[in-house]
Amino acid sequence: MGPLASVDGDVDESEARQKIHDLLLTGDNRLKQGVSAAKIRQNYEQALAVAREHGLEEGVRPLIEIRLADLERLAGGSPPPAPPEA
């Protein structure tokens, strides 16, 4: 049985949500620590896979897409977006 499997073999939704949260947090922390983009991407993609497997993708995908886009921007050396004008 995997780390998210319960006694009857079903995955508890709250456990899946916690796993997604942990993967996103790990990716975010790695980003702050300057870890390679490949490792950060792996965390984000794992979070998306867990969400997909447990029917949570719709709520999680936008958050992960933003993180992946930011990761690409940072890895590519693009300048940050201009702040909105007041």
pLDDT by residue (tens digit) across 28-72? 999 999 999 999 999 999 999 999 999 999 999 999 999 999 999
Q: Where are the alpha helices (DSSP H) in 1-85?
A: 13-33, 37-53, 57-76
Query: Distance (Å, rounded) from C-alpha 25 to C-alpha 45?
Result: 13
Write out the two tokens for 5: 């499997």
Model pLDDT, residue 14: 93
> Does a structural domain hold residue 47?
yes
27 in any annotated domain: yes
The count of structural domains within the chain is 1
Looking at the domain assignment, is residue 86 inside a domain?
no
Phi/psi zone of residue 12: left (φ > 0), alpha (ψ -120 to 50 degrees), beta?
Answer: beta
C-alpha span between 86 and 84 (Å, rounded): 6
Confirm whether 3 is domain-assigned: no
